[in-house]
């Protein structure tokens, strides 16, 4: 399976944080080749990290059908992927990072219909959550049926909560970090299977730049009482300058833990923990997309058409190494 000699030709759809991360990740995988970036912007306006990477208008995508093995869709889950993934799955093998958990079954159904019709392989919802965390939730349950699963996120920048802060009247800019409560993590690790409230699991930390003349107390109050986003958490609001925001909060760190705590007998507690500590959330998601694009290519070559998720992918399909090499080196 790993004896394929010509590189896997990847088309990147969209060139924001995720697209740039995919470009960087492909450069680290010698069995893959970035065949082109496809954009809705005028192609000449787009400056890829590698000046030699071809940039094309989205309109030309269909005419390149025979030259692309897998598309990596780098658009957003709200506006781009719900229509784009099924549309393109009718013609191409592809992968996306659709991450609206509640809508995955609906997205799956649409993509599956398109991929079955087009005889393509389309993997949705790759990344780390959904993605690597999902795999670990599944395996935790399967290995320790008598147990409880805990997911903690952070410390990390939450895009949705940062957006919510920025919509508050009087706010000129800001970011929000989700932080797991260390005492809760330790309790879960101890194997006692605690019941934890929302407030006990995570706290929220906001760095906010005020507009000229805004009332700091009113802004703080509006943030900490915001329903769904902040009211169920302990939230700290720090006011900083626009310069500090730009200097100290430009990165997009994230991560978290999936912990499965269970018993195999009355006296034996067993704890499985999977942890990510990411300096760059989009770059890691991109790396996951690229590794799973390799699996998509192989599944398509094997005639395994339709919509797939990370839960359907055998680990060996992710590695450029041969099965024999994997058994000898990594098993």
Q: Which residues bind its own copies (CB under 8 A)?
A: 21, 24-25, 28-29, 101, 104-105, 108, 125, 130, 132, 134-135, 137-139, 141-146, 189, 191, 264-265, 267-280, 283-284, 286-288, 291, 294, 309-316, 318-320, 323-324, 326-328, 330-331
Cβ 125 to its own copies, closest distance in Å? 6
User: Measured from the CB atom, is 39 or 125 closer to its own copies?
Assistant: 125
Cβ 189 to its own copies, closest distance in Å? 7
**Residue 78 three-state SS:** coil
Secondary-structure percent of the chain, ordered helix, strand, coil, rounded to 5? 40, 25, 35
Cβ 224 to its own copies, closest distance in Å? 32
User: Measured from the CB atom, is 222 or 309 closer to its own copies?
Assistant: 309
User: Measured from the CB atom, is 224 or 271 closer to its own copies?
Assistant: 271
User: Measured from the CB atom, is 13 or 26 closer to its own copies?
Assistant: 26
| Pair of tokens at residue 57 | 């208008």
Cβ 143 to its own copies, closest distance in Å? 5
Cβ 147 to its own copies, closest distance in Å? 9
CA pair distance 192, 190, nearest whole angstrom: 6
Beta strand residue intervals within the chain, DSSP E? 8-13, 32-39, 55-57, 70-73, 94-95, 121-123, 147-153, 156-157, 171-180, 202-210, 234-239, 254-265, 268-278, 306-308
Cβ 216 to its own copies, closest distance in Å? 33
Cis amide bond preceding 155, omega within 30: yes
User: Measured from the CB atom, is 104 or 245 closer to its own copies?
Assistant: 104
User: Measured from the CB atom, is 235 or 287 closer to its own copies?
Assistant: 287
Burial label, 152 (beta-carbon count in 10 A; 0-12, 13-18, 19+) = buried
Q: Which residue has the tokens 């896997």?
A: 8
Burial label, 236 (beta-carbon count in 10 A; 0-12, 13-18, 19+) = middle
**Residue 15 three-state SS:** coil
């Amino acid at each position: 399976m790993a004896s394929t000699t010509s590189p896997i030709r990847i088309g990147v759809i969209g060139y924001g944080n995720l697209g740039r991360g995919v470009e960087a990740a492909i450069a680290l995988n010698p069995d893959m080749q970035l065949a082109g970036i496809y954009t809705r912007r005028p192609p000449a306006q787009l400056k890829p990290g590698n000046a030699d990477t071809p940039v094309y208008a989205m309109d030309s995508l269909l005419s390149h059908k025979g030259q692309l093995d897998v598309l990596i869709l780098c658009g957003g889950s709200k506006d781009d992927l719900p229509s784009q993934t099924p549309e393109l799955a009718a013609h191409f093998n592809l992968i996306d990072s659709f991450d609206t958990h509640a809508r995955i079954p609906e997205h799956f159904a649409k993509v599956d219909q398109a991929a079955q019709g087009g005889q393509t392989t389309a993997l949705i919802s790759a990344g780390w959550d959904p993605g690597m965390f999902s795999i670990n939730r599944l395996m935790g349950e399967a290995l320790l049926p008598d147990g409880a699963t805990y997911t903690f996120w952070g410390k990390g920048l939450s895009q949705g909560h940062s957006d919510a802060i920025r919509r508050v009247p009087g706010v000129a800019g800001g970011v929000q970090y989700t932080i797991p409560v260390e005492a809760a993590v330790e309790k879960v690790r101890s194997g006692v299977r605690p019941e934890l409230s929302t407030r006990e699991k995570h706290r929220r930390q906001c760095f906010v730049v005020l507009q000229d003349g805004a009332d700091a107390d009113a802004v703080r109050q509006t943030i900490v009482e915001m329903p769904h986003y902040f009211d169920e958490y302990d939230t700290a609001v720090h006011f900083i300058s626009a310069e500090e925001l730009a200097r100290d909060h430009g990165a997009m760190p994230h991560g978290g833990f999936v912990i499965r705590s269970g018993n195999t007998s009355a006296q034996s507690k067993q704890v499985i923990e999977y942890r990510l500590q990411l300096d760059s959330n989009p770059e890691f998601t991109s790396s996951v997309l690229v590794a799973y694009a390799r699996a998509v290519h192989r599944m398509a070559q094997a005639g395994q058409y339709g919509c797939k998720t990370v839960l359907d992918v055998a680990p060996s399909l992710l590695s450029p190494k041969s099965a024999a090499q994997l058994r000898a080196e990594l098993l």
